[in-house]
Amino acid sequence: MNDFIFHNPTKVYFGDQLGALTSELEQYGKNVLLVYGGGSIKKSGLYDTVTGMLSESGFKTSELSGVEPNPRHTTCNKGAEICRNEKIDVILAVGGGSTIDCSKGVAAAAADGRDIWEIIKEGKTVEKALPIVVILTNAATGSEMDMWAVISNIETNEKESLGGMGIQPRAAFENPVYTYSLPEYQTACGAFDIFNHVIDNYYLAGDATFDMILNFQENVMKTVVKFTPVAMKEPENYEARANLMWASSMALNTVLDAGMVHDPACHMMEHEVSAYYDITHGHGLAIITPRWLTYILDESTAPAIYRLGQKVFDVQDGMSAMDGARKSIDALSQFCFETLGLKSTFTELGIGREHLEDMAKHSCHGGVLRGIKTLTPDDVQKIYEMCM
């Protein structure tokens, strides 16, 4: 088990508690920038609820709308300019991971004064940013309760992370009801994103394990396996939506990586795919993860992959570690491509081989991907090939 520091300052209001929104915002000031995506919050009625509450309580509200899935750096810059012109005190993000991440980019660029891409490329942690309050509408990324943002530059085909305590949301409103309107496809993609965030920190090899966390991780993955099909069939099933929503926050709020080895290989590989082809993040992960597990399967990883299958997918006991691990990967693939109904190859998403070599190099950022198994650009390209 590795040493760790745990510090997560986001205050979460879970359930029907939006009444506390104005007092949460008020502590930062009365000038709010409301950030949202392509209109789902208008269709669901959440936009009217929120703007009604803000105007009743005397807030001055500016808006940044149309945040793209895979949010663009240009949209962050546009938001930062509004913040400077309107002297914004606090940012209110209402939406999924893209809206929250864009708000984090806006908050950092507004406080810093430079183009967000310059700040991202500098690679420093963000200490200073405008405060952010979140109303979550998609159970997926964990952005509601973490210090990360992932921003895309479509001119250069890059998708990069920005991180630091400055951009960690001060408060998050998580009402499962706000996810009732999520389409089946987004529910499935979000769920697999949650699942993969756990795998990123799952004990796959070596001695460094922490039993309490391992069991917790397996429970979160089981929760995703149990409740995603329910939410897909019955979008207004509160229990299913609530379990997925809290799983989203737990998977990336650093509770589950305490003491463990962090290996975000699948995320690094997927970010390149969505940078080049603008696909949905969770879908890219679902295609990559079973192939990555197959690629890293050997005597050192087989026992843990088998354990994952036994605990999460009820794979039968009593097999050899290698056979059990293969069955576990099959069970994971079945979950992704049959239960979640996601297309199983890059080819089906219209992705060709033309950029695979560049994507592989970029995912390693000029070196290698370090983790459970070190991956070179050549390894990554082979994994991409397995996904075709």
Q: Which residues bind Zn ion (CB under 5 A)?
A: 193
Phi, psi (5° rounding) for residue 29? Answer: 140, -175
Closest to ligand NZQ by CB, 70 or 328: 70
> What sign for the dihedral angle of Cα 373, 333, 69, 242?
negative
C-alpha to C-alpha distance for 5 and 122, rounded to whole angstroms: 25
- Given 1, 14, 31, 38, the residue binding ligand NZQ (CB under 6 A): 38
Region of 6-14, 109-117, 176-184, 366-374 interacting with ligand NZQ (CB under 6 A): 176-184
- Of 179 and 333, which has the nearer Cβ to ligand NZQ? 179
Instruction: Say how far apart CA 237 and CA 306 lie, in whole Å.
Output: 32
Does 201 participate in binding ligand NZQ (rule CB under 6 A)?
Answer: no
**Measured at CB, which residue is nearest to ligand NZQ?**
37
Within positions 219 to 248, which residues make up the interface with ligand NZQ, using CB under 6 A? none
The stretch near ligand NZQ (CB under 6 A) out of 94-102, 166-174, 294-302, 320-328 is 94-102
| 362 is an interface residue for ligand NZQ by CB under 6 A | no
With CB under 5 to 8 Å by kind, the binding choice for 356 among ligand NZQ, Zn ion, none is none
Which amino acid is residue 265, in one-letter code? A
Q: Is 79 in the site for ligand NZQ (CB under 6 A)?
A: no
Determine if 98 is a binding residue for ligand NZQ (CB under 6 A).
yes
Contacting ligand NZQ (CB under 6 A), which of 10, 75, 179, 228? 179
* Binding-site member from 21, 35, 97, 187 for ligand NZQ (CB under 6 A): 97
Q: Which of 9, 7, 49 is nearest to 144 (CA)?
A: 9
Buried b or exposed e, range 286-304, using 16+ CB within 10 angstroms: bbbbbbbbbbbbeeebbbb
Per CB under 6 A, the list member of 10, 70, 175, 310 interacting with ligand NZQ is: 70
Binding segment for ligand NZQ among 4-12, 91-99, 321-329, 333-341 (CB under 6 A)? 91-99
Question: What is the nearest approach in angstroms of ligand NZQ to the Cβ of residue 355?
Answer: 18
| Among 132-140, 236-244, 295-303, 337-345, the segment contacting ligand NZQ (CB under 6 A) | 132-140
Extended strands (E) in the chain:
11-14, 31-36, 60-64, 90-95, 132-136, 148-153, 158-163, 171-174
- By CB under 6 A, is residue 182 in contact with ligand NZQ? yes
DSSP helix/strand/coil, 62: strand
Among the residue ranges 9-17, 33-41, 201-209, 328-336, the one whose residues contact ligand NZQ (CB under 6 A): 33-41
Instruction: Count CB neighbours of 14 within 10 A.
Output: 15
Which residue in the set 141, 175, 301, 363 belongs to the binding site for ligand NZQ (CB under 6 A)?
141
Residues 297 and 205: their CA atoms lie apart, in Å, by 10
Distance separating alpha carbons of residues 154 and 114, to the nearest angstrom: 19
Give the burial class of 383: count Cβ atoms within 10 A of its Cβ; 0-12 exposed, 13-18 middle, 19 or more buried.
buried
Task: Give yes or no for a contact between 145 and 10, defined as CB atoms under 8 angstroms apart.
Answer: yes
Shorter beta-carbon distance to ligand NZQ: residue 315 or 364: 364
- How is the beta sheet containing 11-14 ordered, strand by strand? 11-14, 171-174, 132-136, 90-95, 31-36, 60-64
* Nearest approach, Cβ of residue 55 and Zn ion (Å): 35
Tokens of 382: 């082979």
Applying CB under 6 A, the residues found at the interface with ligand NZQ are 37-41, 44, 69-70, 95-99, 101, 137-138, 140-143, 146, 148-150, 178-179, 181-182, 186, 190, 193, 252, 267, 281-282
